[in-house]
């Protein structure tokens, strides 16, 4: 049995993979004609965007698709801060922590976001695939991230896919409101 046909151990979980998801995965893999393994990061993004986090079934499914062992997928997940093994809030607020944003008040901004959505401002992710600190209702996660490369309009935050710039402390409640369900 070749690596690509490896059976995953958690067959029940994999039932959540729809034909549409399969097609998206195949499209991503096709962009790496030289090595399927190159599709590891794209498939991790796809899995996390679709299912919220990358659990064991995701690790096994992706490992089988790209032709590596599950551990080689886990070591990628735990290396890159973006990937997580457990779900985060529905909305993720990533405030830039690095110098230009810090000079412009990002510590205060982050604390305001934490207060507005009910995340403990002193908690932080422990890395290695841990999700960012999340409010008890599961609506929001808030974390500090490193430079978002928008230093000219500091302080900035990436909220889900959207960038917010020149955030003032008084802007925080209105920004949060936009993302409340």
Partner 1 sequence: MTDSTFSMPAPHPKERRLIFENISKPGYDTSLETYLRHGGYESLKKALGMKPGEIVDAVKAANLRGRGGAGFPCGMKWSFIKYDDGKPHYLVVNGDESEPGTFKDRYILHHDPHQLIEGVVISAFATNCHLSYIYIRCEFPHAAKIVWKAIQEARAAGFVGKNILGSGFDLDIYVHQGAAAYICGEETGLLESLEGKRAYPRIKPPYFPAVLGLYMQPTIVNNVETLCHVKHILRLGSEEYAKMGTPGDGGTRTLCVSGDVARPGFYELPVGAVTLGELIFDLCGGLRPGRKLKAVIPGGSSAKVLRAGEKFKIKAKGPDGAMTEKEIDMLDVVMDAASLAAVGTMVGSGGVIVMDDTRNMVQVLNNLNQFYAHESCGQCTPCREGSLWMSKITTRILDGGGVEKDPATLKNVADNIAGRTICAFGEACSWPTQSFLTKFPEEFSAASAKLLN
Give the interface with partner 1 as residue ranges (CB under 8 A).
31-35, 37-42, 44-45, 66, 68, 72, 75-76, 79-83, 94, 97-100, 102-103, 145-154, 158, 161-163, 165
CB nearer to partner 1: pick between 120 and 165 = 165
Counting beta carbons within 10 angstroms of the beta carbon of residue 137, is it exposed (0 to 12), middle (13 to 18) or buried (19 or more)? exposed
Query: Crossing angle of helices 56-66/19-30, nearest 10°?
Result: 40
Contact 140, 91 (CB under 8 A): yes
- Nearest approach, Cβ of residue 12 and partner 1 (Å): 27
Q: Minimum distance from CB of 54 to partner 1 (Å)?
A: 11
Based on CB atoms, which residue is closest to partner 1, 137 or 149? 149
Least distance from C-beta 4 to partner 1, angstroms?
A: 14
Q: Are 66 and 35 in contact (CB under 8 A)?
A: no
Residue among 113 and 143 whose Cβ is closer to partner 1:
143
d(CA 41, CA 80): 10
Helix axes 40-51 and 70-79, enclosed angle (nearest 10): 80
Minimum CB distance to partner 1 smaller for 2 or for 127: 127
Secondary structure element (H or E) that encloses residue 162, with its range = strand 162-164
- Please report how close the Cβ of residue 11 comes to partner 1 at its closest, in angstroms: 25
């Amino acid at each position: 049995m070749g690596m690509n046909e490896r059976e995953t151990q958690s067959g029940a979980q994999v039932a959540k993979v729809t034909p549409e998801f399969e097609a998206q995965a195949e499209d991503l893999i096709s962009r790496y004609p030289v090595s399927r393994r190159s599709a590891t990061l794209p498939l991790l993004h796809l899995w996390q965007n679709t299912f919220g986090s990358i659990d064991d079934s995701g690790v096994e499914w992706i490992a089988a698709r790209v032709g590596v062992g599950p551990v080689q997928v886990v070591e990628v997940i735990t290396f890159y801060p973006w990937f997580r093994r457990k779900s985060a809030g529905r909305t993720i607020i990533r405030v830039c922590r690095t110098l230009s944003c810090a000079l412009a008040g990002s510590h205060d901004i982050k604390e305001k976001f934490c207060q507005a959505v009910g995340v403990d401002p002193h908690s932080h992710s422990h890395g290695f695939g841990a999700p960012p600190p999340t409010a008890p209702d599961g609506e929001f996660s808030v974390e500090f991230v490193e430079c978002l490369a928008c230093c000219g309009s500091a302080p900035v935050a990436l909220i889900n896919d959207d960038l917010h710039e020149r955030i003032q402390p008084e802007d925080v409640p209105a920004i949060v409101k936009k993302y409340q369900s």
